[in-house]
Amino acid sequence: MKKIIMMCMLVFAMQCTCVQAQDYQMFGLSERELTQDTQGLLSKKDFDSQFGDIDKQYLYYLVRHHKSHQYYYDFDLTPNWRKTGKIGVLGARLIGLNKQKATVDLRNFEKESHGLALRTIAKEAFQTKTLKKVILPNTVTYVAPGAFGKVKVIKAKALQKQKDGSYEYVYHLKKNVKERTIQDFYNTNKSIQSLGGDETYRHRYQMTMRKGQTITLCSSIKVGKKSYVMPDLYLVYKTDNKAIVKITKGKMKALQSGETTISVYLSTKVRDPAYQLQVIIK
């Protein structure tokens, strides 16, 4: 596995050298790679069933550059994956523009990447002569120094400029917390039963409620040795059945009998850490 990772890292490094050139049109992908990119993020199972490939080729898929209609990007991977050999995809990293425009609205990035949120932006990603304004989605957590040049930037207030010229997403809690320092995101409600984790969610839970009952979700993060309760302001909820429950200000009310699955993300829509809650209402 280490030899495979080292080989892919070498290919990845060679790609990065090519993409630093100003003319992003020179960056080419094979027809097969372009086909893969029209399908968004592929799981190992989906990749194998469609392309019949071995592990090292799927690993190459995870570390290579990708292309959509307007953007060049790669996957923003879990920290230290080179050391652990365990790779997870947190979102996407923008490395260049495929279209020359005066204004670039990156709030449409997630739609073009089939649900993959834009998390980070590489150095010199916007170095084009025609660009005047950039609009960033709230999912962006880090921008490398020199990414914007002299263009006007519209961004979330939480994305704050640092001394080195970079931008980092900061949560204003009892202590200011940078998004990249968060080690875990989980639920601390005592009535919730843990179901363990899977390749998509680090934590999965199950809860049984009565119709009309209201509970506090109790979402928390871990930073170093400390834990912080996350305000509803910084959370995003996705449910497969909105008629079953209603979530307001971190509290969930059971509306009618049935079952639903709720995915809970930080406001930056980070895939990992995130948790999933299966709710059964009787």
How large is the C-alpha radius of gyration of the chain?
Answer: 20
Q: Which residue has the higher pLDDT, 267 or 208?
A: 208
Token couple for 253: 């009310």
Q: Which residue has the higher pLDDT, 170 or 25?
A: 170
Query: What is the rounded distance in angstroms from the CA atom of residue 244 to the CA atom of residue 38?
Result: 33
Give the pairing type, strands 258-266 and 275-281.
Answer: antiparallel
If pLDDT is split at 50, 70 and 90, which confidence band does 167 have? Answer: very high
pLDDT at 52: 64
Token couple for 86: 């365990």
Q: Which helix (H) or strand (E) holds 239?
A: strand 235-239
Whether residue 231 has a cis bond before it, omega within 30° of 0:
no
Token couple for 257: 């009998």
Query: What is the rounded distance in angstroms from the CA atom of residue 240 to the CA atom of residue 238?
Result: 7
CB 69 within 8 A of CB 225: no
Query: What's the average model confidence in pLDDT over 225-244?
Result: 91
Query: What is the rounded distance in angstroms from the CA atom of residue 73 to the CA atom of residue 67?
Result: 6
**Rounded to 5 degrees, what are φ and ψ at 128?**
-125, 155
pLDDT at 51: 67
What is the average pLDDT value for the chain, to the nearest integer? Answer: 83
The model's pTM is 0.72
Quick: pLDDT tens for 19-29.
Answer: 433 333 436 78
Tell me how far apart the terminal alpha carbons of the chain are, to the nearest angstrom: 48
pLDDT at 24: 37
User: How far, in Å, are 88, 178, 259 from residue 198 at the CA level?
Assistant: 11, 26, 20
Least confident of 81-85, 178-182, 272-276: 81-85
Query: What is the rounded distance in angstroms from the CA atom of residue 89 to the CA atom of residue 171?
Result: 22
Check whether 279 has a pLDDT greater than 90. Answer: yes
pLDDT at 259: 94
Quick: pLDDT tens for 84-107.
Answer: 777 788 889 999 888 778 888 999
Sign for the pseudo-dihedral over CA of 151, 154, 159, 162: positive
Q: Which helix (H) or strand (E) holds 171?
A: strand 167-172
- 3-state SS of 182-194? CCEEEECCCCCEE
Query: Diameter of the chain by CA atoms?
Result: 60
Q: Which residue has the higher pLDDT, 52 or 43?
A: 43
Quick: pLDDT tens for 187-232.
Answer: 999 989 999 988 778 899 999 999 999 999 999 999 999 999 999 9
Least confident of 50-54, 217-221, 266-270: 50-54
pLDDT at 198: 83
Query: What is the rounded distance in angstroms from the CA atom of residue 276 to the CA atom of residue 199?
Result: 12
- Write down the H helix ranges in the chain: 2-19, 31-37, 44-51, 55-63, 81-84, 109-112
